[in-house]
Chain A
Amino acid sequence: MSTILDLHTHSEASEDSRAPVEAYLNWIKLRQAERPVDGIVLTEHRQFNRDADYRRLEDKFGTLVLRASEVETTYGHMLVFGVNDDMVARFDFADVRLDAQTLIDEVARMGGIVVPCHPGRPNIGLYEHYQSRPPLENVVAVEALNGGSRKGEDERSAELIAKHGFAATGGSDSHLVSLIGLCATKFSAYIKTIDDLVRELKTGNYEPVDFRPRRKTVPHAVAMETR
């Protein structure tokens, strides 16, 4: 039994999002035919929402809600899965210059996994850092599809993946309710807990999936009236 998870989402707990978790889950229910995701992972910026409890919402909507974090490192932004007390004690998640190699190695030692996100994005992606600095060690996977990517960013991510042989994930990076689930990751295994997710992320048995609509170019538009 496979599982499709949106591995990169931001709720109103992140300072740049106003999306309530319940609204995300309701939207997934509404759009299930177009975006058949089984669950989401909340990856709030520079924090880990340790005490949040979404079981009531999970039961109400039948959608899995897991928690992780998006942190900022010397090699760009990275998702940390399997966050536990040891990691929270070891790292200041609010630090915007976390040492990337230390983070990757220490999180792995403490039972989690780090996945660099939107690697093709200028300034905050792995691709650009790799142009001038040595590659990181022990990177298992990177985010291949990001719902917020501009033209060319996912292509740079693909180039990086091909060159280094990383496994590839997908996530919407949603900050708006209606953008949830646009990109996701399809796992061959059944995932029910964060431990399941970390275990599967380490195996590489998954692929990014893209549910973004293909829009037609606007042939002509209405000129804005000047008053």
Chain B
Amino acid sequence: MNSFEQINIGDTLGPLELFVSKDQCRAYARTMGMGEGAGRFTDDEAARKEGLPGMIIPGNMSLGLVSKLVTDWIGSSNAWLTRMSTTYRVPVQPDRTVTIHGFITNKNPEDRTAEIDVWMENEESERLVTGTATVEFRK
């Protein structure tokens, strides 16, 4: 990643293409203590009983995936992710490819921050999760 001075409004982050398996989704739910009473994250049939199309990825997991785009972009540079907000528009299903996109939309020289739009799309270009992030650059 570049320094604050080198980045520009309009610069892209990604796209980051990911395939999240059902097993990975189950592992996340287990690790986060979502096992009992959270069948929607671990079992297709339980999810369908709730009116969902099948297993879905936990919101926090989606948040992590979207954040990954930003933290990968930051890499080892002298900056950090200070804020991330997300809106969950459509349930995210595992065993599918998702693509995460980002754009730098604003720069504030006073506090050396950059505002970034991020979103996760499915293979049909539907935006599943949208959000904004703030990255602060140290001098």
Contact = CB atoms under 8 A, between A and B. Distances in A.
A132 interface: no
Contacts of B121: 215
Contact of B19 (A30, A178, A223): A223
* Dominant SS among interface residues on chain B: strand
B106 A177 contact: yes
Given A16-B87, A151-B126, A218-B97, A26 B132 contact: no
Interface of A: 16, 18-20, 23, 26-27, 30-31, 148, 150-151, 175-179, 215, 217-218, 220-224, 226
Contact of A178 (B18, B87, B98, B103): B103
Interface residues of B, number: 31
A222 B17 CA distance: 6
A224 B132 contact: no
B106 A20 contact: yes
Contact of A23 (B20, B85, B106, B126): B106
Contacts of B19: 220-224
B90 interface: yes
Interface of B: 9-10, 17-21, 24, 27, 65, 85, 87, 89-90, 97-99, 103, 105-106, 115, 117, 119, 121, 123-127, 130, 132
A221 B17 contact: yes
Chain A interface secondary structure, helix, strand, loop or mixed?
loop
B10 A176 contact: no
B21 A223 contact: yes
A221 B27 contact: no
B117 A176 contact: yes
A16 B130 CA distance: 11
Name, among A26, A151, A217, A218, the residue most crowded by chain B CB atoms within 10 Å (CB to CB).
A218
